[in-house]
A and B are shown apart, each in its own frame.
Chain A
Amino acid sequence: MMGRFGQIVSRDLHLAVKQGMDSFMVVMFFVLAVVLFPLGVGPEANILARIAAGVIWVAALLASMLSLERLFQADYEDGSLELLSLAPFPLEAVVLAKVCAHWLTTGLPLLVAAPLLAVLMHMNADGFIVLAAALALGTASLSLIGAVGAALILGSRRGGVLLSLLILPLYIPVLIFGVSAVDAAVGGFPMKAQFLILGGFLLGALPLCPWASAAALRQALE
Protein backbone atom coordinates (compact mmCIF):
# COMPACT_ATOMS: atom_id res chain seq x y z
CA MET A 1 0.00 0.00 0.00
CA MET A 2 2.74 2.42 0.97
CA GLY A 3 4.66 1.24 -2.05
CA ARG A 4 1.80 2.18 -4.32
CA PHE A 5 1.51 5.56 -2.62
CA GLY A 6 5.20 6.15 -3.09
CA GLN A 7 4.90 5.09 -6.71
CA ILE A 8 2.31 7.70 -7.49
CA VAL A 9 4.24 10.41 -5.68
CA SER A 10 7.47 9.60 -7.47
CA ARG A 11 5.72 9.37 -10.84
CA ASP A 12 4.26 12.83 -10.41
CA LEU A 13 7.58 14.14 -9.19
CA HIS A 14 9.33 12.67 -12.20
CA LEU A 15 6.89 14.31 -14.55
CA ALA A 16 7.32 17.60 -12.73
CA VAL A 17 11.09 17.41 -12.84
CA LYS A 18 11.09 16.48 -16.50
CA GLN A 19 8.97 19.48 -17.25
CA GLY A 20 11.06 21.40 -14.76
CA MET A 21 9.49 24.72 -15.57
CA ASP A 22 6.50 24.36 -13.28
CA SER A 23 8.24 24.86 -9.94
CA PHE A 24 10.49 27.51 -11.36
CA MET A 25 7.57 29.46 -12.83
CA VAL A 26 5.57 29.26 -9.63
CA VAL A 27 8.45 30.67 -7.61
CA MET A 28 9.08 33.34 -10.22
CA PHE A 29 5.45 34.39 -10.07
CA PHE A 30 5.67 34.49 -6.28
CA VAL A 31 8.72 36.71 -6.37
CA LEU A 32 7.33 38.99 -9.08
CA ALA A 33 4.01 39.41 -7.34
CA VAL A 34 5.70 40.44 -4.11
CA VAL A 35 8.13 42.76 -5.90
CA LEU A 36 5.22 44.60 -7.49
CA PHE A 37 4.10 45.87 -4.11
CA PRO A 38 7.03 48.10 -3.22
CA LEU A 39 6.85 49.39 -6.78
CA GLY A 40 3.19 50.14 -6.40
CA VAL A 41 3.12 51.30 -2.80
CA GLY A 42 6.46 53.06 -2.44
CA PRO A 43 9.76 52.08 -0.86
CA GLU A 44 9.09 53.36 2.65
CA ALA A 45 10.43 50.69 4.96
CA ASN A 46 7.86 50.99 7.72
CA ILE A 47 4.88 50.79 5.35
CA LEU A 48 6.34 47.75 3.62
CA ALA A 49 7.09 46.12 6.95
CA ARG A 50 3.51 46.70 8.03
CA ILE A 51 2.07 44.94 4.96
CA ALA A 52 4.86 42.40 4.47
CA ALA A 53 3.16 39.38 6.05
CA GLY A 54 -0.09 39.98 4.20
CA VAL A 55 1.56 40.58 0.84
CA ILE A 56 3.75 37.51 1.05
CA TRP A 57 0.85 35.32 2.09
CA VAL A 58 -1.47 36.58 -0.64
CA ALA A 59 1.25 36.13 -3.25
CA ALA A 60 1.89 32.60 -1.96
CA LEU A 61 -1.84 31.86 -2.24
CA LEU A 62 -1.99 33.05 -5.82
CA ALA A 63 1.22 31.30 -6.81
CA SER A 64 0.18 27.97 -5.33
CA MET A 65 -3.01 28.16 -7.37
CA LEU A 66 -1.14 28.38 -10.66
CA SER A 67 -0.14 24.76 -11.00
CA LEU A 68 -3.36 23.34 -9.53
CA GLU A 69 -5.23 23.24 -12.79
CA ARG A 70 -2.89 20.61 -14.12
CA LEU A 71 -3.05 18.43 -11.02
CA PHE A 72 -5.48 16.00 -12.60
CA GLN A 73 -5.76 17.40 -16.10
CA ALA A 74 -3.06 15.41 -17.89
CA ASP A 75 -4.07 12.12 -16.31
CA TYR A 76 -7.71 12.83 -17.04
CA GLU A 77 -7.03 13.52 -20.68
CA ASP A 78 -4.84 10.53 -21.42
CA GLY A 79 -7.00 8.05 -19.53
CA SER A 80 -4.61 7.20 -16.71
CA LEU A 81 -6.97 8.72 -14.18
CA GLU A 82 -9.65 6.27 -15.20
CA LEU A 83 -7.18 3.41 -14.81
CA LEU A 84 -6.18 4.67 -11.39
CA SER A 85 -9.80 4.85 -10.33
CA LEU A 86 -10.40 1.25 -11.36
CA ALA A 87 -7.34 -0.07 -9.52
CA PRO A 88 -7.84 -1.62 -6.06
CA PHE A 89 -5.87 1.28 -4.61
CA PRO A 90 -8.35 3.81 -3.12
CA LEU A 91 -8.87 6.93 -5.19
CA GLU A 92 -8.63 9.08 -2.05
CA ALA A 93 -5.07 7.83 -1.57
CA VAL A 94 -4.28 8.61 -5.18
CA VAL A 95 -5.42 12.17 -4.55
CA LEU A 96 -3.32 12.40 -1.41
CA ALA A 97 -0.28 11.12 -3.27
CA LYS A 98 -0.76 13.65 -6.05
CA VAL A 99 -1.24 16.44 -3.51
CA CYS A 100 2.02 15.44 -1.82
CA ALA A 101 3.84 15.68 -5.12
CA HIS A 102 2.16 19.02 -5.80
CA TRP A 103 3.25 20.39 -2.45
CA LEU A 104 6.82 19.19 -2.94
CA THR A 105 7.00 20.97 -6.28
CA THR A 106 5.05 24.08 -5.34
CA GLY A 107 4.67 24.68 -1.60
CA LEU A 108 8.20 23.73 -0.67
CA PRO A 109 9.89 26.07 -3.16
CA LEU A 110 7.63 28.88 -1.94
CA LEU A 111 8.76 28.16 1.61
CA VAL A 112 12.35 28.49 0.53
CA ALA A 113 11.78 31.73 -1.34
CA ALA A 114 9.70 33.36 1.40
CA PRO A 115 12.45 34.53 3.78
CA LEU A 116 14.20 36.20 0.89
CA LEU A 117 11.06 38.10 0.06
CA ALA A 118 10.60 38.95 3.73
CA VAL A 119 13.95 40.72 3.55
CA LEU A 120 12.82 42.65 0.49
CA MET A 121 9.71 43.74 2.32
CA HIS A 122 11.67 44.91 5.35
CA MET A 123 10.00 42.39 7.60
CA ASN A 124 11.39 42.32 11.12
CA ALA A 125 13.77 39.37 11.47
CA ASP A 126 11.72 38.00 14.36
CA GLY A 127 9.14 36.98 11.82
CA PHE A 128 11.23 34.92 9.41
CA ILE A 129 11.13 31.53 11.05
CA VAL A 130 7.49 31.90 11.97
CA LEU A 131 6.75 32.88 8.37
CA ALA A 132 8.39 29.71 7.09
CA ALA A 133 6.66 27.53 9.68
CA ALA A 134 3.24 29.05 9.08
CA LEU A 135 3.69 28.81 5.32
CA ALA A 136 4.65 25.16 5.69
CA LEU A 137 1.35 24.40 7.38
CA GLY A 138 -0.59 26.78 5.20
CA THR A 139 0.67 25.72 1.79
CA ALA A 140 -0.04 22.10 2.66
CA SER A 141 -3.65 23.03 3.40
CA LEU A 142 -3.75 25.10 0.22
CA SER A 143 -2.63 22.14 -1.87
CA LEU A 144 -5.31 19.99 -0.29
CA ILE A 145 -8.10 22.51 -0.73
CA GLY A 146 -6.90 23.26 -4.23
CA ALA A 147 -7.13 19.60 -5.15
CA VAL A 148 -10.87 19.70 -4.53
CA GLY A 149 -11.20 22.64 -6.90
CA ALA A 150 -8.99 21.00 -9.50
CA ALA A 151 -11.14 17.88 -9.44
CA LEU A 152 -14.36 19.86 -9.76
CA ILE A 153 -13.34 21.75 -12.88
CA LEU A 154 -12.18 18.76 -14.92
CA GLY A 155 -13.76 18.94 -18.33
CA SER A 156 -15.23 22.37 -17.81
CA ARG A 157 -14.88 25.46 -19.94
CA ARG A 158 -12.49 28.14 -18.71
CA GLY A 159 -11.17 25.82 -16.04
CA GLY A 160 -8.25 27.96 -14.86
CA VAL A 161 -10.07 31.15 -14.00
CA LEU A 162 -13.04 29.23 -12.66
CA LEU A 163 -10.68 27.38 -10.31
CA SER A 164 -9.49 30.66 -8.82
CA LEU A 165 -13.05 31.86 -8.27
CA LEU A 166 -13.93 28.64 -6.53
CA ILE A 167 -11.05 28.19 -4.14
CA LEU A 168 -9.92 31.70 -3.23
CA PRO A 169 -12.86 32.18 -0.84
CA LEU A 170 -12.00 28.84 0.72
CA TYR A 171 -8.40 29.98 1.24
CA ILE A 172 -9.42 32.95 3.36
CA PRO A 173 -9.28 31.24 6.79
CA VAL A 174 -5.75 29.95 6.10
CA LEU A 175 -4.73 33.42 4.98
CA ILE A 176 -6.15 35.14 8.04
CA PHE A 177 -4.46 32.89 10.56
CA GLY A 178 -1.23 32.59 8.61
CA VAL A 179 -0.76 36.34 8.49
CA SER A 180 -1.87 36.71 12.09
CA ALA A 181 0.81 34.25 13.22
CA VAL A 182 3.56 36.21 11.50
CA ASP A 183 2.27 39.58 12.68
CA ALA A 184 2.08 38.25 16.21
CA ALA A 185 5.66 37.03 16.05
CA VAL A 186 6.88 40.37 14.74
CA GLY A 187 4.95 42.26 17.38
CA GLY A 188 6.06 40.03 20.21
CA PHE A 189 2.58 38.67 20.89
CA PRO A 190 1.69 35.05 21.58
CA MET A 191 1.05 33.01 18.46
CA LYS A 192 0.23 29.60 19.84
CA ALA A 193 -3.46 29.93 19.00
CA GLN A 194 -2.78 30.76 15.37
CA PHE A 195 -0.50 27.75 14.94
CA LEU A 196 -2.95 25.46 16.66
CA ILE A 197 -5.65 26.64 14.29
CA LEU A 198 -3.44 26.33 11.22
CA GLY A 199 -2.54 22.83 12.37
CA GLY A 200 -6.22 22.13 12.91
CA PHE A 201 -7.02 23.22 9.38
CA LEU A 202 -4.37 20.89 8.01
CA LEU A 203 -5.55 17.97 10.14
CA GLY A 204 -9.09 18.57 9.01
CA ALA A 205 -8.14 18.95 5.37
CA LEU A 206 -6.05 15.77 5.30
CA PRO A 207 -9.00 13.37 5.40
CA LEU A 208 -11.74 15.65 4.05
CA CYS A 209 -10.14 17.08 0.94
CA PRO A 210 -9.06 13.78 -0.62
CA TRP A 211 -12.54 12.46 0.10
CA ALA A 212 -14.24 15.39 -1.61
CA SER A 213 -11.73 15.35 -4.49
CA ALA A 214 -12.26 11.64 -5.07
CA ALA A 215 -16.02 12.18 -5.15
CA ALA A 216 -15.55 14.95 -7.70
CA LEU A 217 -13.16 12.80 -9.75
CA ARG A 218 -15.67 9.98 -9.86
CA GLN A 219 -18.28 12.44 -11.15
CA ALA A 220 -15.87 13.55 -13.84
CA LEU A 221 -15.12 10.00 -14.91
CA GLU A 222 -18.75 8.92 -15.19
Chain B
Amino acid sequence: MESILKFLQMGGYAAYVWPCFILTAAVLVAMLVSSMRFMKKSENILKSLQGDDKETDGEA
Protein backbone atom coordinates (compact mmCIF):
# COMPACT_ATOMS: atom_id res chain seq x y z
CA MET B 1 0.00 0.00 0.00
CA GLU B 2 2.77 2.34 1.02
CA SER B 3 4.72 1.70 -2.16
CA ILE B 4 1.64 2.40 -4.27
CA LEU B 5 1.23 5.73 -2.52
CA LYS B 6 4.88 6.50 -3.09
CA PHE B 7 4.46 5.64 -6.73
CA LEU B 8 1.46 7.93 -7.08
CA GLN B 9 3.25 10.78 -5.38
CA MET B 10 6.14 10.69 -7.87
CA GLY B 11 8.57 12.18 -5.40
CA GLY B 12 6.32 15.21 -4.91
CA TYR B 13 6.03 15.95 -8.60
CA ALA B 14 2.68 14.20 -8.99
CA ALA B 15 0.88 17.38 -10.08
CA TYR B 16 3.21 17.64 -13.06
CA VAL B 17 3.89 14.03 -13.97
CA TRP B 18 0.41 12.55 -13.93
CA PRO B 19 -1.33 15.22 -16.02
CA CYS B 20 1.33 14.66 -18.68
CA PHE B 21 0.70 10.97 -18.94
CA ILE B 22 -3.06 11.26 -18.56
CA LEU B 23 -3.40 14.00 -21.17
CA THR B 24 -1.14 12.16 -23.61
CA ALA B 25 -3.23 9.05 -23.18
CA ALA B 26 -6.50 10.99 -23.45
CA VAL B 27 -5.58 12.88 -26.62
CA LEU B 28 -4.11 9.86 -28.40
CA VAL B 29 -7.02 7.61 -27.44
CA ALA B 30 -9.49 10.30 -28.55
CA MET B 31 -7.69 10.55 -31.89
CA LEU B 32 -7.80 6.78 -32.23
CA VAL B 33 -11.48 6.52 -31.38
CA SER B 34 -12.47 9.36 -33.68
CA SER B 35 -10.47 7.80 -36.53
CA MET B 36 -12.16 4.44 -35.96
CA ARG B 37 -15.57 6.08 -36.01
CA PHE B 38 -14.67 8.01 -39.17
CA MET B 39 -13.70 4.78 -40.88
CA LYS B 40 -16.72 2.85 -39.64
CA LYS B 41 -19.12 5.60 -40.62
CA SER B 42 -17.69 5.84 -44.12
CA GLU B 43 -17.86 2.05 -44.46
CA ASN B 44 -21.53 2.05 -43.47
CA ILE B 45 -22.49 4.81 -45.87
CA LEU B 46 -20.55 3.10 -48.64
CA LYS B 47 -22.26 -0.22 -47.99
CA SER B 48 -25.72 1.32 -48.06
CA LEU B 49 -24.93 3.27 -51.23
CA GLN B 50 -23.56 0.22 -52.95
CA GLY B 51 -26.70 -1.64 -51.94
CA ASP B 52 -28.80 1.14 -53.53
CA ASP B 53 -26.62 1.17 -56.62
CA LYS B 54 -27.07 -2.54 -57.17
CA GLU B 55 -30.84 -2.17 -56.93
CA THR B 56 -31.21 0.83 -59.22
CA ASP B 57 -29.03 -0.04 -62.18
CA GLY B 58 -28.65 -3.80 -61.82
CA GLU B 59 -24.95 -3.92 -62.59
CA ALA B 60 -22.15 -4.98 -60.23
Is there a direct interface between A and B, measured as CB atoms under 8 Å apart in the complex?
Answer: no
A residues contacting B by CB (< 8 A) are none
